[in-house]
């Protein structure tokens, strides 16, 4: 996927589109690791892979938090901008 495939038109300067793409990729990674865990017979390897999944899920939550922060800030900025348009 090229950068142009996920451009954003908001004042965030493409931050939300970039984070949405990062979230999509992290979600795909978690699904992949979960499928590997299901096929793995070694308890030691399963624990290792599970720790990777847990870290990736934490990363996903951090991305979601940052997206929420950006969205809240953009709503505030849009409101301020709109107040001058009247």
Token pair, residue 45, equals 């390897």
Tell me the per-residue pLDDT of 10-67, one tens digit each, with 9 for 90 and over.
556 678 889 999 999 999 999 999 999 999 999 999 999 999 999 999 999 999 999 9
The CA radius of gyration of the chain, in Å to the nearest whole number, is 18
11 in Cβ contact with 71 (< 8 Å): no
**Mean pLDDT to the nearest integer, 67-86:** 72
Binned at pLDDT 50, 70 and 90, residue 71 comes out as: confident
24 in Cβ contact with 68 (< 8 Å): no
Distance CA 79, CA 75 (A): 6
More confident residue, 81 or 33: 33
Binned at pLDDT 50, 70 and 90, residue 77 comes out as: low
Please give the distance of CA 10 from its chain centroid, rounded to a whole number: 17
pLDDT at 13: 65
pLDDT at 7: 59
54 in Cβ contact with 48 (< 8 Å): no
0.95 exceeded by the pTM?
no
Nearest to 57 by CA among 11, 16, 26, 22: 26
């Amino acid at each position: 996927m090229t950068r142009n495939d996920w451009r954003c038109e908001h004042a965030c300067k493409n931050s939300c589109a970039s984070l949405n793409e990062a979230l999509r990729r992290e979600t795909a990674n978690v699904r992949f690791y979960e499928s590997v865990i299901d096929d793995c017979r070694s308890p030691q390897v399963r624990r290792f892979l599970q720790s990777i999944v847990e870290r990736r899920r934490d990363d996903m939550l951090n991305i979601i938090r940052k997206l929420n922060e950006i969205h809240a800030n953009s709503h505030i900025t849009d409101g301020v901008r709109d107040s001058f348009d009247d």
